[in-house]
Amino acid sequence: MKPSLTDTLCTRCGLCCDGSLFADVELAGTDEASALEVMGLEIEEDEDDSGLLLQPCAALKGKRCGIYPYRPDCCRTFECRLLQEVKRGAIGVEGAKTKIAEALKRIERVKELIVQLGQGNERLPLKERCAEALALSEEADADPEINRKRDELRAAMTSAEHLIQETFLGGE
């Protein structure tokens, strides 16, 4: 049997679960939210009480969903732009793998710089971690090395966000 695109691509990506693309995802309602909470996932109330699943998702194990048969509707139905483009033949599977590898590389560099600037909390989404790392570094004395890393982080984050937007989220 031919592997699905999810098997081929998502299992080497995980960016829509690990806080790189989203800070949270909207759940279908309180029943879904309660069931996920029982499984140990972090849920927050939103304005209409349907619940938000916070990211990075605690169910993500490596690059695979640890509760795959029980994942919420939003995860069952979500297809990033890259998957949609592969499905309609606008990009080949190998091209998509290359895009994923490039995104992972850029995000990894952002994370390295975040840690070097003193933000070690991996439980926050990428944008939030980046903003905290930049704020922490601004509090530090005008150390040229920290200033250099801060500039590098800003550039690396811009580059990663551009690729994320263009490749996974749907254009400018």
Cβ partners under 8 Å of residue 151, min gap 6: none
Number of residues that bind ligand SF4 (CB under 6 A): 19
Determine, following the binding rule CB under 6 A, whether residue 83 of this chain makes contact with ligand SF4: yes
Cβ atoms of residues 157 and 20 within 8 Å? no
* CA 133 – CA 140 distance, rounded (Å): 11
Determine, following the binding rule CB under 6 A, whether residue 75 of this chain makes contact with ligand SF4: yes
* CA 35 – CA 40 distance, rounded (Å): 9
Instruction: State whether the Cα torsion 136-103-80-15 is positive or negative.
Output: negative
Least distance from C-beta 73 to ligand SF4, angstroms? 10
* CA 142 – CA 55 distance, rounded (Å): 33
Determine, following the binding rule CB under 6 A, whether residue 107 of this chain makes contact with ligand SF4: no
Among 16, 33, 133, 157, binds ligand SF4 (CB under 6 A): 16
Among 27, 33, 65, 156, binds ligand SF4 (CB under 6 A): 65
* CA 61 – CA 69 distance, rounded (Å): 14
Least distance from C-beta 36 to ligand SF4, angstroms? 7
Determine, following the binding rule CB under 6 A, whether residue 59 of this chain makes contact with ligand SF4: yes
Closest CA to 87 of 9, 140, 25: 9
Among 27, 43, 54, 82, binds ligand SF4 (CB under 6 A): 82
Determine, following the binding rule CB under 6 A, whether residue 52 of this chain makes contact with ligand SF4: no
Determine, following the binding rule CB under 6 A, whether residue 19 of this chain makes contact with ligand SF4: no
- Interface positions with ligand SF4 (CB under 6 A): 9-10, 13-17, 57, 59-60, 65, 67, 71, 75, 79-80, 82-83, 168
